[in-house]
Structure 1
Amino acid sequence: MTATAAPAATQLPAEWRDFFALTKPRVMSLVVFTGLCGLLAAPGAIHPVLGFTTILCIAMGAGGAAALNQWWESDIDAKMKRTSKRPLPAGRMRREDARDFGMLLSGASVMIMGLAIHWLPALVLALSIAYYAVIYTMWLKPRTPQNIVIGGGAGAFPPLIGWIAVTNEITAMPLLLFAIIFIWTPPHFWALALFVKTDYAEAGIPMMPVVKGEKSTRRQVLYYSVALLVTALLPWAIGGTGAIYGVSALVLSAVFVALSVPVGLRSTVADDSMKPEKRLFAYSVLYLFALFTALVADRMVLS
């Protein structure tokens, strides 16, 4: 990242849609969902107003971190087709405004969480924002092909935060929910990186397919998919969930592994379709939604 903003022909006045786009709403939807599932699956109860406040703070924190990510990477985003139309590289917003917006959302989310809920989930929320905006965005992503592996923790915090907002303690179950998303992130993101690797190469980002090559990346997609199957079953194995979650986790994860096999064993690509990779990427999003839905359904039945 450089201090110079991405070149833009004309600086247009930012609209509310541009600020909303800074929060990465598509990514935020998954963050909010897993955070809500962590809250609903936790033992105990929380007042609906406080539950709503918790999810709102998680959304604000995720949005603030995303805005800071785009502020820092505006020059990189300008070089990639899939990000070049974002508000900053498109010249619709000043970088300073994006930075200030991100800091405001981030700070407000932590303070509201601490004052309205507990300071323990507020501390974890602050850690998640710093993890994504600083550790991943500023340090890992431009330096190492392991950026997604280590940086996977950034997106794994929401169910942990939702859970401890109810219980005000960190136990094995919320840590396992964190671990599931942590292990899920590499095969999910590398499946995407395999069919947009040219973008990363042109932007100078050392993503795994660019630095280590496709063969190594594909092999690791398969390894992590198998690890995900094992990790997803651990909440059931320790008695933290019932059969609804356990059977769902087994079936969903087995399908994940089955879809990763043609990706992992594919040595050459005869065309540009990348169908196995695209299928795995699409399913990986559905997988997380379905797995956490099963977690909540299991909790409702046990209650």
Structure 2
Amino acid sequence: MSNSNTTDFTNPSTFILLGIPGLERAHVWISIPFCAMFIIAILGNFTILFIVKMEPSLHGPMFYFLCMLAVTDLVLSTSILPKMLAIFWFNSREIDFSACLTQMYFAGCFSVMESGIIVAMAVDRYVAICHPLRHSTILTIPMVAKMGLAVVLRSSMLVLPYPFLVRQWRYCRTNIIPEPFCAHISVVKLACGDTHVSSYYGLFVLLCVLGLDGIFIAMSYTQILRAIFSLPTKDARLKTFGTCFSHLCVILIFYVPGLFSSLTYRFGKNVPLHSHALIGNMNLLVSPMLHPIIYGVRTKEIRDRLLWFITHKG
């Protein structure tokens, strides 16, 4: 902590994470909902993986994409929450420079990966509703694997410049990060000199995720809605639309807070630091918690199989 206010150093060996700035005295109380969200996310996503693995009838494209989403949520949660809880409970604020860059990469990579999986799920819904007779021939297991590999490669390569760009900057202001984890934009703001390359690249990644992915999803749902409204009866339209409801909830939960958080970080200069920290963290933690709940409640196959396991265990 002795170097916290140093104004003449380059590439500090550690950063200091403040947690939720201005709310340090309430850290223990703040940790309760965060810990609850973490536990629910871990249990819920492992339950989804277990049910899909154990039930052969669920071995299809939609459930494979759901498993990819569950794995992504698990990694995203575990890359952020343990250190955050250590800050809240034990005041363990120091983080090694390399560990900070690693956390930054994993948080960014798996956030982008989550967006790519949501796009893949939109494609699955499009094929299932607009080309139902060809669904099994279009979305074969090899095709699903290729789509998953493309999502992983895109996110890995897109976020890879983050740590390399951040590592090259000099840090002569402070090594204090007003966050409970190493967010890319928060670390860049600590650097000296011209950091526009990092800022512009971060904006480019944001546009790729919220822009291009949003366009693909909008195009898919335009065709889906056209197919739904062409159905002859209201019951058929409602039943078909119901198959998309879970995915629509996931879209709203991921993109709306993500857009709000990104805009707040970049343009919300008058927003208090604790609001920045809370908004950014809630965006990364709420989605992994809610995804298994949404699909567990809304997907009949998963719900029935979970109830069977519970009653059979009893």
The bucket for the TM-score relative to the shorter chain is: 0.3 to 0.5
TM-score by length of 1: 0.36
Q: Which has the larger radius of gyration?
A: 2
Which structure has more relative contact order (CA 8 Å, sep 6+)? It is 2
TM-score, normalised on structure 2? 0.35
